[in-house]
Amino acid sequence: MFIGTSQEKFFYHNTLLCLVKSLQDKNITVDLRNDSYVCGQLVSVDGYMNLSLSKAVYCDTQGNEYYFDSLFVQARNIRYVHVPEYVSILGNIKNEFKKANRKDKDKDDKPILKSRKAKKALQQHMKIVASLEN
Q: What is the pLDDT of residues 29-76, one digit of tens each?
A: 999 999 999 999 999 999 899 999 999 999 999 989 999 999 999 999
Decide if pLDDT at 7 tops 70: yes
Please, what's the b/e burial string for 39-71 (b: 16 or more CB within 10 A of its CB; e: otherwise)? bbbbbebbbebebbbeebebeeeeeeeeeeeeb
Is residue 104 scored above 60 in pLDDT?
no
Range of the domain at 100: 6-133
Residue 1 lies in a domain: no
Q: State residue 109's pLDDT score.
A: 54
Residue, of 13 and 45, whose pLDDT is higher: 45
Domain count, the chain: 1
- What lies within 8 Å, CB to CB, of 42 at 6+ separation is 20, 23, 24, 25, 26, 27, 28, 51, 52, 53
Residue 124 lies in a domain: yes
Q: What is the CATH number of the domain that holds 89?
A: 2.30.30.100
pLDDT band at 1 (very low <50, low <70, confident <90, very high): low
- Asked if residue 116 belongs to a domain, the reply is yes
Look at residue 12 and tell me if it is in a domain: yes
